[in-house]
Structure 1
Amino acid sequence: MKIAILYTGGTIGCVGNPLSPMNTDDFSSAFKNLITPILQQQYPDITIDFPPITFPESSSGTLDSTNLQPSDWCLMAEWVLNTYTQYDGWVVLHGTDSMDFTGPALSFLLSDCNELGFPTATLSKPVIITGSQVPLFYRASSQSALAINYNTDAFQNVCGAVASAQSGVPEVGVYFQNQLYRGNRTVKTNASQFNAFSSPNYPALGEYGIELDIDFANVLPLPTTPDTSLDTPSTLSALQKRLTYIAQNIDAFPAMQFNAFPAAYSATGGTAVIANLIDACVATGITGLVLESYGEGNFPSGNPDNPAAGATYQALANANAAGVVIVDCTQVLSGTVNDSAYAAGAWLPAVGALSPADMTPMAALAKVIILSTVAAYHGWSADTVKTLVQSNLVGEMKSVNRLDDWGQLTLAAGQSITTLDGSATLSNDPVLGPVLLRSGNTSPLWQALSAPIANPPGRLILEQDGNLVLYDRTNMPLWGTSIVPSSPTSSALVLAGSYTDNTLSLYLYDVAQQEATEVLYTGSGES
């Protein structure tokens, strides 16, 4: 088993008093002498290499993660892709300050999708990010030899990350304090304890007790076909070309996060602090704006009684008209955005604000920057970018409008999927079964059954053969699609488009063949 380690800098590689980062050569030498022999006690066949990488903005070649910028995400992704055929897994040693930005960024840079959000290039091996709150090595004086630092999280995190890099988990993960998390779901939640990171909206992928235990039910699936795997040379080459384009252009698509906070405004005009700040930010040339709203997605409009007359409403509307991609995240650590729950947030879609479901603001920032950058490369429209921002691409958010292997495969009784604009919903009614309704109307546009379920409730399941099947509580199939697969497949149930503009459609999609296999409803009323 061959593992590559990237030392970027950060606390894990600091020594001295005051602490300062070791250079790459000194760190890799100390690691090979002091850490590798211990790892080989557990893994006798392991080989650990330190392929070189240099961050050009630093004279030492390493960077505290505080100073990482989007172009550095590209350097790290390039490091993985350029060595993809040589190693079985990668460990990125990283400072903790911006680890929850790098995790999402690498997950988007090390994968690709089509305009519908389905994968065209996918990791088949683990890329694990870790760091520490306390340095890995200790030196009593400038003349002393390095030693392993006593009782630190650094050594434990290195051991766990190396174990995770051999696990076969085909995604970007963050390993910290005995837990392996999905990288694009991870948030730094503690600045002074060893349990510095958590994953508020998604369960851990694994836990290290006596040994590393991976819960593969929570792990992303392997590549759908060889054509989407980075083990295929043509797929790897295509993703490398895409990454080269992104690296050359990413600085032209800056985005920023913007917190909701109590600030002065006048409903009749005059001072509006938040509106002025948004205007100033847009004037700098930002192309993405990630709002960190209150609660379920509420943001001060500048006029409580008439949001459209508020200064902040106008500032965001102007930003949207200027082409800025606006995402309405929440500053609350856990939960899902539902901006329609309160009037204080229901106005946001009118100014173009997109809903991220339960995606972290850090993941939203990286996603907006990368999708905006790559749009011209793929020939995507602005509307396509906005659709993809709201779609689950690599497990970074709850799937809103589809069932698939990257989110969930079952609609239990009472559960639903909805269009991205909220104009229609497919609900699994406990008695009636699957029913497609437009917003605010109880007359079905489409339903699977002509009579109520005799033994409710029913479960709607997307099967491994690509068919959608409804079962009653006795596990008797009541209804199903009639797809005859020609080969093992991966499918998705998609509720796309909008009832409002007559583009609504409900269909099954073959991810491997990249085509619809059965249309259940279209906006024209045909089914």
Structure 2
Amino acid sequence: MKRWMCACRRGHRSTMKIAIINTGGTISCVGTPLGPMSAQAFAKACKTLIDETIIVQDYPNTELHYAVDVKFPESSTGTLDSTNLQPTDWCIIASYILDHYADFDGWVVLHGTDSMDFTGTALPFLLSAFNDRGVTTAQLSKPVIITGSQLPMFHQGPNEKEPSALAYNTDAFQNFCGAIAAAQSGIPEVCIYFQNELYRGNRVLKTNASEFNAFSSPNYPSLGEYGIQFEILFENILPPPVSNSVSLDDATARNSAIQQLNYVAANINNFPVMQFNAFPAWYAFNDSTKTCSGLIANLLNACVASGIKGLILESYGEGNFPSGNPDNPSGGAAYQALAAANAGGVVIVDCTQVIAGVVNDNAYAAGAWLPAVGALNPADMTPMAAFAKLMILLTTAGYRKWTAAHVKTLMQTNLLGEMMSVNKLDSRVNPLLLANQTLAALDGSATLSNDPVAGPVLRDSTGTQLWAAMSPAPPANQLPGRLIMQNDGNLVFYSRYNAPMWATNTGVSTGASSMLVLSGSAGKPADLALLVYDYDHNAVTKTLYQQK
């Protein structure tokens, strides 16, 4: 396994400037009962009790800056327990980072644990910009590390006006130090550091309320770990911006992200999204009279009437949700409530309440009806990630002039590592399609498979072959093979002996980071396309199949 050692321990820079943004949470609480310190009081305690005596020992070339001017207007102290954080507060954090992007090498965001998994998705989306293909036009190039703790950092006695010591035997100081180390790593992601593990921020769940290992990443491996030394598992990390022109280091790209964020901050409250758990509840139906009712339907109707724009279902198992009529789903009250919501413009996403695994709503009849009411499949995205992603996409649509179809496509597309890639190979992230592996159209109407006896073949949902890379099929002794989207822009199929057997011949010597994308639908509208897209130069370089 390949690893990176933390650069801060090897003296690769003379000075690393790290900004500490204290939003509140347990880590900066004191007193009985616990209450959040102001950012100024926390900064003073850190400088007095930690920076000069401890931090300088391990990080002599690190300069910490405490951002005491980040304040949340809801609170008299300017800091908040994360229970009370609103979507507009995500924008306050992101705005500080963008406004001071050129001043620092990384950021540590101190945050309460209750809603940290929501913020872990919101920040990367607020710090990025995309076109309607999901290709990045402004991208983070420096680490943003969110951390917190289960117990407070400092001890303050009942008669003391300010903290007098580090609290004994807590996770706070260790998480603080680990986050500072991660913030110096150069990882171009928003991450969460907790209990010696570094996770992708949009992949985590809070899974333990009473132990120090509060967070886990059920569907994606950790990005790093802190043992004797801090080590980064670089094969799990997102690649940096494809060029300087789309990096937030570039003033033009950063300004575009700032303008988008300003729009989102002003409008995000107009696009509320809610989560809705499947649960055992009463329902009744009469097929002969075509009448139906049910508690879940009543609640869904009430939610839609309140003005929600997005609905994250937390279904059972692989995506099963009670329709209100087991034998005839369309005759059920819940089905009809969701159908009415979809017709009214509410975007529905069918997540699972199970901690780990992938949604497959076609696995059971109890979930196979959901696409008929417009429910989108988020693959292995967590409900918290789906919530924050959908709210930000819905809000951004007004700024980017996206249609509802754009939003739904982007919602099911892996943009920042928040979900598995369903319909594309990316030369820098997941370039390989092995035998029997597949790409699928987002609505499931077509599949590109690496057939072990025929090579790459595109078929619709009826099994009808639409396209094949090689016809006739190559000799059996050359298969199975591998389909690779190379970083020079060439899509190549290699035999079992690593000999090239087929290629698009779209490669360029200077490099062309590219994607193989299966877009559109083989159903209605019939606009299925299989193409190679060079996102380094924003150009389609090869159309392999286009439905007419």
TM-score range, shorter chain: over 0.9
What TM-score comes out, normalization by structure 1 length? 0.98
The residue aligned with 1:14 is 29
Are residue 46 (structure 1) and residue 62 (structure 2) matched?
yes
The residue aligned with 1:77 is 94
The residue aligned with 2:9 is none
Are residue 517 (structure 1) and residue 541 (structure 2) matched?
yes
Residue number among 481, 489, 508 corresponding to 1:458 in the alignment: 481
Aligned to 1:274, the other structure's residue is in SS state helix
Deviations 1:89-114 (A, max 9, x none): 00000000000000000011011111
Deviations 1:206-254 (A, max 9, x none): 1111111111111010101111100000100110010000000000000
Aligned to 2:526, the other structure's residue is in SS state coil
Aligned to 1:266, the other structure's residue is in SS state strand
The residue aligned with 1:503 is 527
The answer to whether the Cα contact below 8 Å between 2:129 and 2:137 also exists between their aligned partners in 1 is yes
Are residue 483 (structure 1) and residue 499 (structure 2) matched?
no
**Paired residue type of 1:2:** K
The 3 A distance-change label for structure 1 pair 486 and 474 is closer
Mapping 1:221-370, distance limit 5 Å: 221-268=239-286, 269-370=291-392
Q: How many Å separate the matches in 2 of 1:103 and 1:323?
A: 27
Q: How many Å separate the matches in 2 of 1:493 and 1:421?
A: 17
Shift of 1:405: 4.9
Mapping 1:78-477, distance limit 5 Å: 78-143=95-160, 145-268=163-286, 269-405=291-427, 407-452=429-474, 453-477=476-500
In structure 2, runs of 5+ residues without a counterpart are 1-15
Deviations 1:111-157 (A, max 9, x none): 11110111111000000000000101112333275201112111110
Aligned to 2:284, the other structure's residue is in SS state coil
Aligned to 1:403, the other structure's residue is in SS state strand
Q: How many Å separate the matches in 2 of 1:373 and 1:426?
A: 33
Q: How many Å separate the matches in 1 of 2:169 and 2:471?
A: 62
Shift of 1:279: 0.2
**Paired residue type of 1:472:** S
The 3 A distance-change label for structure 1 pair 449 and 46 is farther
The 3 A distance-change label for structure 1 pair 406 and 321 is farther
The answer to whether the Cα contact below 8 Å between 1:392 and 1:406 also exists between their aligned partners in 2 is no
Shift of 1:270: 4.7
CA RMSD of aligned residues (A): 1.2
The residue aligned with 2:11 is none
The answer to whether the Cα contact below 8 Å between 1:434 and 1:447 also exists between their aligned partners in 2 is yes
The answer to whether the Cα contact below 8 Å between 2:428 and 2:487 also exists between their aligned partners in 1 is no
What TM-score comes out, normalization by structure 2 length? 0.94
Deviations 1:316-360 (A, max 9, x none): 011011110100000001011010111111110110100101000
Q: How many Å separate the matches in 2 of 1:448 and 1:214?
A: 41
The answer to whether the Cα contact below 8 Å between 1:446 and 1:521 also exists between their aligned partners in 2 is no
Q: How many Å separate the matches in 2 of 1:196 and 1:449?
A: 54
Shift of 1:407: 4.7
The residue aligned with 2:79 is 62
Q: Single out whichever of 396-405 and 138-147 deviates more from structure 2.
A: 138-147
**Paired residue type of 1:274:** I
Q: How many Å separate the matches in 2 of 1:315 and 1:464?
A: 47
Deviations 1:487-510 (A, max 9, x none): 322100000011113211101001
Q: How many Å separate the matches in 2 of 1:336 and 1:470?
A: 28
The answer to whether the Cα contact below 8 Å between 2:293 and 2:332 also exists between their aligned partners in 1 is no
The answer to whether the Cα contact below 8 Å between 1:431 and 1:458 also exists between their aligned partners in 2 is no
Number of aligned positions between the proteins: 524
% of aligned pairs identical? 60
In structure 1, runs of 5+ residues without a counterpart are none
**Paired residue type of 2:478:** N
The residue aligned with 1:29 is 44
Deviations 1:272-296 (A, max 9, x none): 0000000000000000000000001
Q: How many Å separate the matches in 2 of 1:134 and 1:403?
A: 43
**Paired residue type of 2:411:** V
